[in-house]
A and B are shown apart, each in its own frame.
Chain A
Amino acid sequence: MKFGSLLIFLFLCFIVSVSARTPFPMKPNGATYFLKKSESPYLLEDNFVLAAKDTLKIEAGVVVQMGSLAKMLLNGTTEISGTSVNPVQFIPSDSSESWNGVHFISTTTPFSVKYLVLEKAFRNTVSHADGIFEGTQFIDNYYGVRVNASPKVIFKDCLFERNRFALSVASSKIEVENLSIRRNVFGLYLEGGVEFIGSQAGIVENMEADIRHGSVAGGKERVPLSVWQRVETAF
């Protein structure tokens, strides 16, 4: 009987631990979101839009689990404050599934992302925004991050690993310090109009190419893929 009670107790503990995920908060515009470690893990199942007047602050050690349709659109002030010991993690809720990704778009103030682990997203982007990624790890994403039309994005002590396309940059200025892009399929892709400041010595051991320039390099095609896709979306 005692053993049976213990089993029931353990089972209840298991149920509580499995279901103890805090729904990602949703608030009216102009709000401040503060994600705390004590309420972690959070679960985001759908879209989250941080409006221009909103602020998102995430403290060290927070884990956000992403459903397969999860997407974060960050327009407002963003401060992700992980540490090397207690990083912030954006990971899929089901390890066999990917999620959409994080998009920094026209942020009202420069974003600050420190010690974030971004794992298994389809695509992360920075567009018309500036800010810093420090100690951030882009792991096993399809597009690690694509930076487009951004005045200045800094990558300091960042790691890209097991992504298909690690880092793509177009019409932007990026500064790198101690950048490591290793064991991806494609490493760095400089699409055009890029000012790249810093060392490229850490871009090695990528399977297909470490650094590519211009359109889908090497082919006989006159029209780059990005142009074909842009024309498609115009119709």
Chain B
Amino acid sequence: MSQEGAGAQEQAGPLGQPVPDRGPTAKPAPSSEGRHDDAARLGEGAEPDVWEVFRQEKDGDQMRHAGNVRAPDRDLATHYARELYSRRQESVRLWIVSRRDITDLSDPDLLQPPLDRTFKKPGGYVMRDKLDAARKRAAASDGSKAGGGEGGAA
């Protein structure tokens, strides 16, 4: 599994461009097509790719980032993801995404612009009473239809 953390992601690709390969697997890459084939040869100095794995714990849940695996191709990545993130039946669905297909955006000018933005935050509004009232209304109309939802509490 990759040791790469957020700290390794120093250079940002231009907005909308695929991230340059920076993982521990990074090596000079002639073309994006040839690289998969090169990496597919284990034991010849090629480091396997990193694949990010997302999992869904039960039907209806969000897909959450679970971690990653190293694998030289999509087939093995799928097998490894299955074993590492669902062998104890903890997932009902996995997404396996090659790290090179992820668009990485960490440019501070785009994400952390220097000007004051506090006016975009909702601070100062007290929502509690309004929320409570809304929940009661929702519960009342829900209760007349069905048993009412659990898990509505935010």
Are chains A and B native binding partners rather than an unrelated pairing? no
Chain A interfacial positions (CB closer than 8 Å to B): none
Chain B interfacial positions (CB closer than 8 Å to A): none
